[in-house]
Amino acid sequence: MKIRELERQEIRDIWSIDRAEVIDRVYRHEDDELVLKPEYYDMQGWPPGEPERYGPILLDCFDRGGTLYGAFDGETLIGAMVLESRFIGREKDQLQLKFLHVSRRHRQAGLGRTLFEKAVARARERGARRLYISSTPSENTVRFYLRRGCRLTHDVDAALFELEPEDIHLEFDIPVCVWE
């Protein structure tokens, strides 16, 4: 497996990532708490219209200097991470982890963690103090972020909330590098 920055023309390949997953429970944000609720979804791919809706957003992010990493098994794209370049938040010290997906057959092998760590490292290089994550509310996805040290944000970005009101809005404090 190889991880590298994506080229602009490779962004269309993101939609070949196998997003299939059976979801039995989702998180909801209620009274400043995460509440797990039974909901069933048999996701067999990207929701209808998702590539057409988000493809231009990802291209725009790339054109503004965002970071897009792809993980490859041979020539096949099996995972991707997108880090926005525009700072957000009250103190303009956050970068949004815009996208992180790993193909079904490659989950539970550390690839998602590696892509997350690359996002953290790049955000640190750019001077960010925190990552902002608008997470799909599925149990597996939210737990992935919670295991990384993410927490509910108290500084919800209004524009991102309007785009994805059902998402779980999280933040991650970027550790400061300490040199010995």
The pLDDT assigned to 176 comes to 81
136-175 burial, b for 16+ CB within 10 Å, e for fewer?
Answer: bbbbbbbebbbebebebbeeebeebeeeeeebbbbbbebe
CATH H superfamily, domain 2-173:
Gcn5-related N-acetyltransferase (GNAT) (3.40.630.30)
Give me the residue label for tokens 């497996």: 1
The dihedral through the CA atoms of 73, 62, 142, 16 has a sign that is negative
Mean pLDDT over 88-116 rounds to 96
The pLDDT assigned to 178 comes to 55
Q: Is the pTM of this model over 0.75?
A: yes
Mean pLDDT over 44-69 rounds to 94
DSSP for residue 174? P
Mean pLDDT over 100-111 rounds to 95
DSSP for residue 160? H
Task: List pLDDT tens digits, range 151-167.
Answer: 999 999 999 999 889 99
d(C-alpha 34, C-alpha 32), whole Å: 7
User: Taking the domains of the chain in order of start, what are their residue ranges?
Assistant: 2-173
The pLDDT assigned to 177 comes to 67
Task: List pLDDT tens digits, range 140-152.
Answer: 999 999 999 999 9
